[in-house]
Amino acid sequence: MLAYASQGLPNEQGSVSGSQIRQFLNRCDEGLSGLAELLSEYVRATRGDQAPPHLAFIRVLARDAADAQAAIQMVLAQPSIGSQMIDNLNASMHLRALLTDLFLIDEILKP
């Protein structure tokens, strides 16, 4: 997404990265569906008595994922996706919050 955003393209037509941007956004949208549930199951199975604070944070992650997913779906609904739109999506606090949540939970859940 960063590479596409930096190209300054008015729409996704006529470039390799442009033809891939919808595919990447769709994959991201699909990946966010059920992510919190999967993490919750993993935490319950591996953390025992330590699960409650992890589960509380996963609820935060779920809200951030839903917000980021709404932004992604709004972009996907557009007839044309230009570089500026992707640049704005990348800068969205909703997407940034989700990424930070994922970095944190990844670090904490490492074996």
Taking the model in full, what pTM does it have?
A: 0.87
Nearest C-alpha neighbor of 109 from the set 32, 68, 60, 57: 57
Q: What single letter denotes the amino acid at residue 84?
A: Q
Distances (CA, A) of 42 to 23, 24, 104: 28, 26, 15
Model confidence at 111, pLDDT cuts 50, 70, 90, reads: confident
Structure-block tokens of residue 10: 């008015």
pLDDT tens profile 18-42: 678 999 999 999 999 999 999 999 9
pLDDT tens profile 47-72: 999 999 999 999 999 999 999 999 99
pLDDT for residue 101 is more than 90: yes
